Amino acid sequence: MPHRRSDTTPTRELTRQAILADFGAFALTCGDRAALFAQVARSAVQATGMAAALVAEVRQGTGGFLVVAGEGLPPGAAGTLVLPDGAATPVGRACTAGRAVVIPDCAAEAGPDDPEPFAALGLRGIAVTPLRAGLTVVGIVALGSPEPRGYDMADLYLLEGLANMLGAGLRRMEVEAERDRLLAALREGERRYRFMTESIPQIVWTASPDGEVDYYNRRWSDYTGLSVEKGTGGEWDSAIHPDDASRTLHAWTTAVATRTPYEIEHRIRRAGGGWRWMLSRAWPLFDDAGNVVRWFGTATDIDGERQAQQALTAARDTAERANRAKSRFLAAASHDLRQPLNAISLLTCNLRTRVGDPGARELLDQIEGSLDAMIDLFESLMDISKLESGGVELDVRPVPLQPLLNRLQRDFAPAARAKGLRLGVVPTTLYGLSDPTLLERILRNLVANAVRYTDRGGVLVGVRRYGSHLRIDVVDTGPGIPAGCLDDIFEEFQQLGNAARERSSGHGLGLAIVRRAADLLQHPLDVRSRPGRGSRFSVVLPRADVVAAEPDIPAADGPAEPAATGFPILLLEDDPLVLTATRMLLEDLDCPVVEARNGDEALRIIAGGAQPRLVLADYRLPGAMDGLETVRRIRTELGRSVPAILLTGDVTADVEPRARAAGVQFVRKPVRPDELRSLVKATART
């Protein structure tokens, strides 16, 4: 470590450097802008012997730089006088040059109709240098004399040095304010540790261009117990933890050699014993020629932050483990609950075909209604849980919107007709950029709500350009929503006008799912409503630049259900109850059914000569192959792409996209019998 140099500088230069160092220390610790401005003006006058000095800041709306502080100025000048910043003015010339400029006699340069503000202050010979905070010019610092005069380089270097340190001090205050804001955001850390956001201890020091530390403020002694003389005498490294000393010295010597900022985290011994983590930084001060004239450094106690970060990391790891455990639980619970619900749904449907007594059929109607409500509630709760736990992996890509509108019209037209409503879609050739599954889920919930709560008139779904985005609107002529309730409707189990919780009005989860899915996709939602007139729910998404053909618009009543029956089906299901219920439903379609309980058994059936027209497979099967892999192997054995439907209670995020990529219909359990019948017929005809 280098030693302190001998005293060879003239007295005046020593005085200047001491003043400069004192102001540097002040600038690195002061938190009051006004005090900082006043001190730089005092230091400039004290160091140069000039009659006056001033600081001016860029102020919007003033047309120039407002004088904010000064030494030797007329009363009232600070806070009122504005210095113009035109290219020919002293301020403009200094800002353009990017360094200090000298005006030997500013009064001589002013025109009769253009009074010179410096001359108005009684100053003629002036030196002006720009004030920067980072890379931005935020003001000027100036020296002035009542007589015409020039300035030597020492005066200019000192003026620029003061301005640079002032700029560094302003920037430091901004950085510390931002740091304090970030620390305040660490709520978990705040509960465990107290941070000294207002008075974090700082050690301030300076060094010569060759890296010799020549100044410490008093906090060095208070903090480490070492005298300032030892710190500036080359023994500062004795306060560094032995494990950190080597890399600290290497970082400092490297910074000095490369003239780049120095920054390191290391441990320093406290005066009372023990080690604490510090963040040490230093910045080189350059002259106009690019030479380092001084190093200014700080050391800040960050021990609390380090411990808080460790605690925060541990808390985040714990939360992530809890989320993973929750996801595993949801996956297992979802599958295990879907299986019996699926079996009950299918068995109830099969029972209906075998019961002729009107009273019994009425009981079946009530059972099916309750079962449908249970399935809807279960699906909604699973959706909410997946969206909240981060269990949804986005697959954002261009989505053709017309097929989506067609499906909405097809699926909701029967319910709309049953209420005497018109359900319309506006044809479109536009593509949106979204996750197709989540986008469809959002729109299905919006259309379902519109149909459910509209008693007369109709529902219209359309797409319109919205700048670089698209806006999909679901408009209804329903009862409307009071303005004070527009935010509440997106909360769980919130329903307007259903205090008795009538099942026919849903469960109050649809819009909660809409909001969470839209937030995940970053698709803004907008609701406009007028009580008694209707509502418009809108979702905004990016527009994909895809050219589409003319939209294929289905008939108003939707496509007719395929009538195909009697084709052979290979059924893969390991749950005996679900297997029996599904087989009974398929046999009601006059379809011969061959059963297999795992992939190996299914392949043996195919090897025995079976030629199914449709494979209906559960995804989660015992053995080495899941349902999707079994379908792939069956197609290979048959030498043709036999139509297939994958039924699953699994909520793993990648199952659905994998099925679609393989050309396999994907259905999530529990499935309603009518939907399964229609899907079986439609798929077998492909």
Query: What is the full DSSP assignment across 215-282?
Result: EE-HHHHHHHS--HHHIIIIIGGGGB-HHHHHHHHHHHHHHHHHT--EEEEEEEE-TTS-EEEEEEEE
pLDDT in tens, 379-433: 655 665 666 555 567 788 999 999 999 988 988 898 899 999 999 998 999 999 9
Tell me how far apart the alpha carbons of residues 481 and 637 are, in angstroms, rounded to a whole number.
58
pLDDT reported for residue 636? 92
Q: Is the pLDDT higher at 411 or at 110?
A: 411
CA pair distance 574, 621, nearest whole angstrom: 6
Query: What is the average pLDDT score of the chain?
Result: 80
pLDDT band at 552 (very low <50, low <70, confident <90, very high): low
CA distance 26 to 681: 83
CB-based burial label for 287 (10 Å; 0-12, 13-18, 19+): middle
More confident residue, 331 or 29: 29
Residues 265 and 436: their CA atoms lie apart, in Å, by 48
Does domain 181-309 match CATH 3.40.50.300?
no
State what percent of residues in the chain have pLDDT above 90.
Answer: 28
Range picked from 329-333, 354-358, 500-504, 590-594 for highest mean pLDDT: 590-594
pLDDT at 380: 55
Q: Model confidence at 53, in pLDDT bands (50, 70, 90)?
A: very high
- The band of 112, judged by pLDDT with boundaries at 50, 70 and 90, is low
Query: If pLDDT is split at 50, 70 and 90, which confidence band does 301 have?
Result: confident
Tokens of 597: 């309980």
pLDDT band at 81 (very low <50, low <70, confident <90, very high): confident
Contact criterion met (CB below 8 Å) for 304 and 194 = yes
Contact 296, 206 (CB under 8 A): yes
H/E segment holding residue 163: helix 153-185
Q: Using CA atoms, how far apart are residues 643 and 681, in angstroms rounded to an integer? A: 11
Report whether 192 contacts 183 (CB < 8 A).
no
* Per-residue pLDDT at 197 exceeds 80: no
Q: How high is the pLDDT of residue 323?
A: 63
Matching fold, domains 181-309 and 392-557: no
- Mean per-residue pLDDT, 217-242: 81
Higher pLDDT, 75 or 360: 75
Contact 345, 670 (CB under 8 A): yes
Nearest Cα residue to 297 out of 36, 21, 40: 21
Which strand (E) or helix (H) includes residue 589?
A: none
Task: State the DSSP string of 120-151.
Answer: HTT--EEEEEEEEETTEEEEEEEEEESS----
Q: What is the pLDDT of residue 556?
A: 42
The arithmetic mean of pLDDT across residues 51-57, rounded, is: 92
User: pLDDT at position 382, please?
Assistant: 63
How many C-beta atoms lie closer than 10 Å to residue 243's C-beta? 10
The pLDDT value given to residue 194: 32
How far is 51 from 71, CA to CA, in rounded Å?
8
Checking if the pLDDT of 84 tops 50, the result is: yes
Tell me what pLDDT residue 499 has.
40
For the domain with range 392-557, which CATH number is right: 3.30.930.10, 3.40.50.10860, 3.30.565.10, 3.40.50.450? 3.30.565.10
pLDDT reported for residue 374: 61
* Tokens encoding 82: 């504005």
The Cα 655–Cα 334 span in angstroms is 14
Q: Which helix (H) or strand (E) holds 70?
A: strand 64-71
The answer to whether 203 and 217 have CB atoms below 8 angstroms apart is: yes
Q: Are 31 and 170 in contact (CB under 8 A)?
A: no
Question: Is the model's pLDDT at 666 over the cut of 50?
Answer: yes
Instruction: Give the pLDDT of residue 7.
Output: 38
Architecture of domain 324-386+560-686: 3-Layer(aba) Sandwich (3.40)
- Is the pLDDT confidence value at 337 over 70? no
9 versus 602: the higher-pLDDT residue is 602
Tens digits of residue pLDDT in 493-535: 455 544 433 444 445 566 887 888 888 889 998 988 888 888 8
Across residues 38-63, what is the average pLDDT?
A: 88
CA dihedral 15, 17, 22, 25 (to 10 degrees): -170
Reading the block at residue 121, the tokens are 């202050």
Question: Measured on CA atoms in the order 479, 480, 483, 486, is the torsion positive or negative?
Answer: positive
pLDDT greater than 80 at residue 148: yes
Provide the pLDDT confidence category of residue 651 given band limits of 50, 70 and 90.
low
Q: Could you give the angle at the alpha carbon of 404 between the alpha carbons of 398 and 337, nearest 5°?
A: 100
Is the model's pLDDT at 563 over the cut of 50?
A: no
The DSSP code for 111 is B
Which pTM does this prediction carry? Answer: 0.40
Q: What is the pLDDT of residue 122?
A: 87
**Greater model confidence, 334 or 204:** 204
CA distances for 369 relative to 364, 375, 585, angstroms: 8, 10, 19
Query: How confident is the model over 239-254, as a mean pLDDT?
Result: 91
The average pLDDT across 203-227 equals: 85
Contact 285/161 with Cβ under 8 angstroms? yes
User: How do beta strands 125-133 and 136-145 pair?
Assistant: antiparallel
Confidence of residue 204 (pLDDT cuts 50, 70, 90): confident
For residue 488, the model assigns a pLDDT of: 61
List the chain domain ranges: 31-170, 181-309, 324-386+560-686, 392-557
Out of 3.10.290.10, 3.30.1330.60, 3.30.450.40, 3.40.50.970, select the CATH number for domain 31-170: 3.30.450.40
Comparing C-alpha atoms, which of 133, 115, 116, 127 is closest to residue 54? 127
**Mean per-residue pLDDT for 557-564?**
42
pLDDT digits (tens, 9 = 90+) for 184-194: 765 554 444 23
Cβ–Cβ < 8 Å for 163, 143: no
